[in-house]
């Protein structure tokens, strides 16, 4: 049995990284690069890092029993400041402060579910994602290590604008970009406010009730200006894109990853492959829009778009797999409930990945997308001591990742099983 939310009671057990070395033992340890299971599994940590060789005699030993050790998971497409199920008008009623408070709650849920790093792409609030990232990094509140993008860049009338409402209701225009000059200014402004990356909307969306997910957005010179300026400031760009033309234009402009990528064609997949562009598929988000009874209260326009896209995206994902694209785990949580951050594993497998490929998408591949492969994503010596344990063997039952039993973050116990 797993009891969640034990953080406060664990203070006594929490192994402060600078104190005693810690040895983790379990029935198995998964090498996520090769798929090799060592049995029994053992890894030891000190000063927040995974260590080589034999642990010292004074080390504290934690035996996790019939479980499998693997690296902390990475979600490369989150919205920690969103709250699922508010409906279209409910979102309009929320203050920036309310969004940040939800972010605090959601950050903890995601960490306790075994996700020790996230890339948060598209907070609508007043750069609340930057504040949340910094509070977690300081150790003020529990949460995953975050990379953040601030508000997503959009064209006027695009996925990031507020469409279908009277003119006096608008989204604010700071993030709306309608020329290359404006693009450069906005990227510089976002950098000034502390973001790690830039997110743009290369096509319309599904949840935005009044635009076309198939239609590309920015002109090629605008795409190019955003990516060039971001790269000059040391930032990558990720592109929300459903339709193939938008995926292609964003890829040619040099974005690091395509988010969703629903209607990807084989020809565009080849362009992505040639450039090393990652795909972040967010499979369960689209499925969650069409759950029986519409528990998240999506408007009819979004339901209709999801119904149209869902049958096509399985083919798009196949194309990506067959092209051998790097596919990184991403959920779009916020569209659905944050505690369900591990739901995409079962969909990645049902859409054609092996369980090992699905686990790699959330570890080694995601770490590479974030350019953090020297820091996280494996249990190799010198990496951050971000380690989880799941019941049984995740290569045999991928859904065991939905019930993470133990979480260590930077050498500190976040969550442990109850015996």
Positions that interact with Zn ion (CB under 5 A): 332
Q: How far apart are CB 317 and Zn ion at their closest, in Å?
A: 17
Nearest to 352 by CA among 281, 289, 400, 401: 281
Give me the residue whose beta carbon is nearest to Zn ion.
Answer: 332
Closer to Zn ion by Cβ: residue 83 or 383? 83
Q: How far apart are CB 77 and Zn ion at their closest, in Å?
A: 6
Closer to Zn ion by Cβ: residue 71 or 128? 128
Q: How far apart are CB 336 and Zn ion at their closest, in Å?
A: 11
C-alpha–C-alpha distance, residues 392 and 18, integer Å: 31
Report whether 375 contacts 391 (CB < 8 A). Answer: no
Q: How far apart are CB 49 and Zn ion at their closest, in Å?
A: 32
Closer to Zn ion by Cβ: residue 207 or 390? 207
Closer to Zn ion by Cβ: residue 332 or 386? 332
Percentage helix, strand, coil for the chain under 3-state DSSP, each rounded to 5: 35, 20, 45
Q: How far apart are CB 205 and Zn ion at their closest, in Å?
A: 8
The residues facing 258 across adjacent strands are 239, 279
Q: How far apart are CB 269 and Zn ion at their closest, in Å?
A: 21
Q: Is the bond into 40 cis (omega within 30 degrees of 0)?
A: yes
- Number of other CB atoms surrounding residue 90 within 10 Å: 11
Q: How far apart are CB 183 and Zn ion at their closest, in Å?
A: 20
Closer to Zn ion by Cβ: residue 244 or 332? 332
- Number of other CB atoms surrounding residue 361 within 10 Å: 27
C-alpha–C-alpha distance, residues 356 and 340, integer Å: 20
- Number of other CB atoms surrounding residue 123 within 10 Å: 30
Q: Is the dihedral of CA 245, 243, 117, 29 positive or negative?
A: negative
Closer to Zn ion by Cβ: residue 90 or 382? 90
DSSP 124: -
Closer to Zn ion by Cβ: residue 175 or 412? 175
Neighbour-count burial of 212, counting CB atoms closer than 10 A to its CB (0-12 exposed, 13-18 middle, 19+ buried)? middle
The residues facing 44 across adjacent strands are 23
Separation in Å, CA 319 to CA 239, 325, 339: 19, 9, 30
């Amino acid at each position: 049995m797993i009891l969640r939310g034990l953080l406060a009671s664990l203070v006594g057990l929490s192994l402060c990284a600078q104190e005693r070395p810690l040895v983790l033992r379990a029935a198995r340890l998964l090498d996520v690069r090769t798929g090799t299971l060592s049995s029994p599994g053992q890894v030891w940590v000190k000063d927040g890092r995974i260590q080589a060789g034999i642990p010292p005699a004074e080390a504290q030993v934690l035996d996790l029993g019939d479980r499998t050790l693997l690296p902390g998971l990475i979600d490369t497409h989150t919205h920690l400041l969103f709250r699922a199920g508010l409906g279209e008008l409910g979102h309009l009623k929320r203050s920036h402060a309310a969004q940040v408070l939800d972010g605090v709650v959601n950050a903890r849920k995601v960490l306790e579910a075994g996700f020790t790093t996230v890339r948060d792409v598209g907070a609508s609030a007043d750069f609340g994602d930057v504040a949340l990232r910094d509070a977690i990094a300081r150790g003020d509140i529990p949460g995953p290590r975050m990379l953040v993008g601030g508000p997503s860049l959009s064209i006027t009338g695009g996925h990031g604008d507020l469409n279908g409402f009277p003119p006096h209701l608008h989204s604010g225009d700071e993030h709306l970009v309608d020329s290359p000059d404006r693009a450069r200014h906005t990227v510089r402004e976002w950098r000034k406010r502390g973001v790690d990356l830039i997110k743009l909307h290369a096509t319309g969306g599904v949840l935005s009730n009044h635009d076309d997910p198939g239609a590309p957005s920015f002109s090629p010179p605008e795409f190019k200006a955003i990516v060039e300026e971001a790269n000059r400031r040391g930032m990558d760009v990720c592109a929300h894109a459903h339709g193939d033309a938008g995926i292609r234009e964003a890829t040619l402009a040099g974005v690091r990853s395509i988010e969703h990528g629903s209607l990807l064609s084989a020809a565009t997949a080849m362009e992505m492959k040639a450039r090393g562009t990652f795909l972040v598929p967010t499979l369960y988000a689209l499925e969650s829009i069409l759950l029986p009874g519409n528990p998240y209260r999506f408007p009819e326009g979004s339901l209709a778009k999801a119904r149209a896209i869902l049958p096509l995206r399985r083919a798009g994902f196949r194309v990506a797999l067959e092209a051998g694209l790097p596919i990184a785990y991403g959920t779009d949580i916020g569209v659905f409930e944050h505690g369900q951050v591990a739901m995409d594993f079962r969909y990645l497998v049902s859409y054609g990945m092996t369980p090992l490929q699905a686990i790699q998408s959330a570890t080694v591949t995601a770490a590479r997308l974030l350019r953090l492969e020297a820091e996280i994503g494996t249990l190799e010596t010198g990496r951050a001591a971000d380690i989880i344990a799941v019941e049984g063997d995740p290569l045999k039952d991928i859904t065991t990742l939905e019930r993470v039993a133990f979480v260590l973050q930077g050498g500190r116990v976040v969550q442990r099983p109850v015996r």
